[in-house]
Amino acid sequence: MELSLLVTIARRELREALRNRWLWLYAAGFAALALALSQAGLAAAGYAGLGGFGRTAASLVNALLLFVPLMGLSVGANALAGDRERGTLLYLLAQPVSRAEVFWGKALGAALALLAALALGFGLAGLALAAGGAGDATAFVGLAGFTLLLALAALALGLVLSSLTRKSATAGGAAMLAWLGLVFFSDLGLAGFTLAARPAPAALLALLLANPLQAFKLGAIYSLQATLDTLGAVGQFALYRFGSALPWLLTAVLLAWSAAAFGAAYTLFCRRVDA
């Protein structure tokens, strides 16, 4: 794989993504959300500390939980399917470039566009926080880090959908269904399973970690230095079982999700005979 070709393709994908009006709409919405988060949550550290933030922190994390996966899935779903529909992907593959250079170049460009949009939101929130002279910088950076990891995992899942579809509209619809499945149906299914089977906290924690959104929720609440009591017995068990190693475990889970999804998307892309 030639680095110069990969960078060229990534820059082209970055320009394409930055021309997407939906991305800027997501960026503006996320900026408003992150600003509200900093004002309502982190700024409270100057009064009572984030340790007693509890339920408020959980509700704000749930807002991020709804917004960020939709953003990542949408960007990823359009990365390959849009070019395939327009015929530009076939033209690109006819050039002296490999499929690996095309895929990883487009993935890198889409990731940079997504991270830039998220950085805009957290940057504005950080400036507001610094201007107010309140908040915990470590907690803020930790929350931003887990949000970026969730965004990468969602982007990778979007690329899987984009590798499977021929039209951007189909990929976008599949991304919406995946978002609904991850955000709503997984929670409802997990709640129903818990009521029916009453699993032990260890088994329930394993089920939670099988969903990247739940891993993000645990990590975000831990980063905010709020108590995991808001997640009930599972949160308490996770903190008791792993202690200070919990954020590293959750980081590894999100990275593993991203690596597995990127690998699956690349494999599917290479197996297609119609570009």
Quick one: which of 263, 271, 259, 82 has its CA closest to 175? Answer: 82
- Match 């831990």 to its residue by tokens: 222
- Return the ∠ at Cα 72 (arms to 56 and 193), rounded to 5°: 60
Q: Please give the pLDDT value at position 89.
A: 84
Read off the pLDDT of residues 35-72 as tens digits, 9 standing for 90 and up. Answer: 666 565 544 544 444 444 444 455 667 777 888 898 89
Q: Are 168 and 80 in contact (CB under 8 A)?
A: no
- Domain extent, residue 25, equals 3-271
Quick one: which of 253, 263, 251, 252 has its CA closest to 156? Answer: 263
- Match 């597995």 to its residue by tokens: 260
Instruction: State the alpha helices, DSSP H only, in 198-231.
Output: 201-209, 212-223
Q: Please give the pLDDT value at position 241.
A: 76
Total domains, the chain: 1
Torsion angle of alpha carbons 185, 189, 195, 198, nearest 10°?
A: -140
Q: Please give the pLDDT value at position 28.
A: 78
Tokens of 81: 């399917």
In which residue ranges of the chain is pLDDT below 50? 42-43, 45-56
Q: Please give the pLDDT value at position 133.
A: 56
Q: Please give the pLDDT value at position 37.
A: 60
Read off the pLDDT of residues 143-174 as tens digits, 9 standing for 90 and up. Answer: 888 989 999 999 999 999 999 988 888 888 99
